[in-house]
Structure 1
Amino acid sequence: MPRRLGLTGSIGAGKSTVAALLREAGLTVIDADALARQVTAEPAVLAELAALWPDVVSGQGGATQLDRAALAARVFGDPTQLAQLEALTHPRIRTATAAALRAAAERGESWVVQDIPLLFEKGLDAGMDAVWVVDAPRELRVQRLLERSGLSREQVLAREAAQWSPERKRARADTVIENTGTLEELRAQVSRELGALQAGIPAKS
């Protein structure tokens, strides 16, 4: 199997941009959020979501739609409901991840990136061969989210508070990607760190 690079970061840090740069460099990136969206679009999962939270699913049959914002608002900050959602979706996400890893192995890839927002919070860093944390100063991260997400400052800060602090993530990282400059500066940094990784500099045991 390929070695696994865990990619995470605080909200607004630019993790998705780094993931895109790694794809640009030719690596397979397994995006946990994208897999979650695929899983929650499956008819069987939509039916179970509708049974649990009728107000977050609309339509019938092939026209059924999930209101992701409503679902997030329902489960965010409620450990019981969040656990219900995770019990429904996480086994399917793990199955899809395993399939993607097998496909990468069949292609002969040496490294695969797993883009996981809650990598540390869910204890998934233990299964990685190396971990990158993308970070930026708090006010810069908040401003990025305010500009693109439609969330209020209070909502952004609440979501950040539900995750590990940037300092705690940085302390556990093998590499910290500092996303404070231009895209070209970020691309150069990612290229440099990826080169070191692929050159065989010892990863986390």
Structure 2
Amino acid sequence: MSSPPSSARPHRLGLTGSIGAGKSTVAALLRERGLTVLDADEQARLVTLEPEVLAEIEAAFPGVVREGVLDRAALAAQVFGDPARLARLNGVVHPRVRARMLALETAAAARGEPWVVQDVPLLFEGGLERQMDAVLVVDAPLETRVARVVARSGLTRGEVLARDARQMPGEEKRRRATVVLDNGGGLEALEAQLDAALARLGVTAAGAPARPE
């Protein structure tokens, strides 16, 4: 794929995966390769530091903002498993996150970057794959994913399974992916798969020669 002019938007590489699959590891590897990674979760955290957003969240979910700071656990307890409440929260946060992501993408275009990575945990669930030029899905066996999350978070196995069940099934994510990265093994194997995927898709960082289509 050829590089777009600086005035055009960069090509978008979507990055997603089920809980515990290793999406953050892949994001770090992409950064090491010189690509700009736009992290939707990070932008959501920054959005919820804004006083006007905190005021809207507190109005919708009383008791979740304490001394000007969002109590994320209390908020999660109010919205988890309640689609109507979750939709209300998303209505406050998501438009602002999209605006931040677009601003960061515009800055990348101005720097002449041919590709940006959009790291979005619920990319398929939100219908955002239609806005991507290609999508990487990171996957791993269920028990491997559960063990990773339990080890790093302190959640119980049941809690991890409950969270996983509320996401799109891994089989469907794999079906919709442009490329699937199997992260059931070691880092070396994951890196080899990633480099092969980037070569196949023609994904390059700023200053790297573009591959022909």
Q: In which range does the TM-score fall when normalised by the shorter chain?
A: over 0.9
SS in structure 1 at match of 2:184: coil
1:15-51: CA deviation from partner (whole Å, max 9, x where unpaired): 0110110011110001110010000111111111122
Residues 200, 174 of structure 1: alpha-carbon distance in 2 compared, 3 angstrom cutoff: farther
Partners of 1:14 and 1:201 lie apart in 2 by: 30
Is 1:17 the equivalent of 2:25? yes
Is 1:76 the equivalent of 2:80? yes
Partners of 1:120 and 1:104 lie apart in 2 by: 24
SS in structure 2 at match of 1:4: strand
- 2:197 is matched with which residue? 193
Is 1:136 the equivalent of 2:140? yes
Number of residue equivalences: 198
Counterpart pick for 2:160 among 133, 156, 161: 156
Q: State the TM-score, normalizing by the size of structure 1.
A: 0.93
Higher helix share: 1
- 1:174 is matched with which residue? 178
Q: Displacement, 1:2?
A: 0.4
1:99-145: CA deviation from partner (whole Å, max 9, x where unpaired): 01100100101110000111111100001000010000000000000
Q: State the TM-score, normalizing by the size of structure 2.
A: 0.89
After TM superposition, the runs of 4+ consecutive aligned structure 1 residues lying more than 3 A away are 199-202
Partners of 2:48 and 2:191 lie apart in 1 by: 32
Please give the root-mean-square deviation of Cα atoms over the aligned residues, in Å: 1.3
- 2:207 is matched with which residue? none
Partners of 1:108 and 1:190 lie apart in 2 by: 23
- 1:105 is matched with which residue? 109
Partners of 1:28 and 1:38 lie apart in 2 by: 18
Identity %: 62
- 1:35 is matched with which residue? 43
Counterpart pick for 1:85 among 86, 89, 92: 89
Q: Displacement, 1:186?
A: 1.5
Amino acid in the other structure paired with 1:108: G
